[in-house]
Amino acid sequence: MVKIKKIHHLIRYFVPFGILVFFGYQGGWVPSLFLFLAGPVLYLAYGLRRVIVENIIQIPYREGINDFVFLLPMCIGYSILTGFLFKQLLNERGFTRNVSLIALASFLIFIHYAAWQHLLEYFELPEFSI
């Protein structure tokens, strides 16, 4: 069972990070960096919208609906889940902790890098655009 203290920690640190990723991507602050951070979340939000539109209800295509109904909650949820996983692994001891942290970090970097590469091609952006 997750303790209230852990939930408070997640809300304090990782919700603002999710909001920062969302507004950084939307604002185009550093396009390449925020596309790297938001890449998997963009795929998740697009997939969720597609499933809902095809199977449940018709939602009109508007940028505001896509951004604030799908992308923002997914950014926040993804950052909370990632933070929770790292927090749980930091509570482990010994060799298992180190191997698990390295494995999770490597997996997340791979996912973000692959999504970033595909989205750079899709949006026709150079690799390091500031």
Print pLDDT tens along the chain (130 aa): 556 666 677 778 899 999 999 999 999 898 889 999 999 999 999 898 888 888 888 877 788 888 898 999 999 999 999 998 998 898 889 999 999 999 999 999 999 999 999 999 988 877 765 4
> Is residue 34 in a domain?
yes
> Is residue 45 in a domain?
yes
pLDDT value at residue 44: 92
> Is residue 115 in a domain?
yes
pLDDT value at residue 53: 86
> Is residue 86 in a domain?
yes
pLDDT value at residue 12: 81
> Is residue 130 in a domain?
no
> Is residue 64 in a domain?
yes
Structural domain total, the chain: 1
pLDDT value at residue 56: 85
pLDDT value at residue 58: 84
In terms of C-beta density within 10 A (0-12 exposed, 13-18 middle, 19 or more buried), how is residue 116 classed? Answer: buried
Helix, strand, coil distribution of the chain in percent, nearest 5: 80, 0, 20
> Is residue 128 in a domain?
no
Which residues constitute the domain of residue 55? 4-123
Between 72-90 and 4-27, two packed helices, what is the crossing angle to 10 degrees? 140
> Is residue 99 in a domain?
yes
